[in-house]
Amino acid sequence: MKVITLTGKDGGKMAGTADIEIRVPHFGYADRIQEIHIKVIHILIQLIEKEMVK
C-alpha cells in the first residue's frame, strides 16, 4: 500500500513523509488549494475504479 498526501504551499510538516506527495504550490488563499485537492481526489478515484474493473 502506498501513502499519498495532498499538501499546499511548501508542504508543511507533511512534506516528504509519504510515498507520494501531491503539492499545490500556491501561497494565496487555502480555498484555491482545496479546489485543486478535490479535483485530484476525483481523478484518483477514477483511476482506482478503472483498475478495479480490469
What rounded mean pLDDT belongs to the chain?
A: 95
Q: What are the residues facing 50 on neighbouring strands?
A: none
d(CA 54, CA 50): 7
Q: Do 19 and 6 form a contact (C-beta atoms < 8 A)?
A: no
* Number of domains forming the structure of the chain: 1
Per-residue pLDDT band at 54 (split at 50, 70, 90): confident
Global pTM reads 0.82
What is the mean predicted confidence (pLDDT) over 6-33?
Answer: 95
Cell 479535483 found at: 39
What is the mean predicted confidence (pLDDT) over 8-33?
Answer: 95
What is the mean predicted confidence (pLDDT) over 26-43?
Answer: 96
- Is the pLDDT reported for residue 15 higher than 90? yes
Helices and strands, number each (H, E), in the chain: 1, 2
Closest CA to 22 of 37, 43, 38, 32: 37
Q: Rg (Cα) of the chain, in Å, rounded? A: 13
Domain range for 36: 4-53
Per-residue pLDDT band at 33 (split at 50, 70, 90): very high
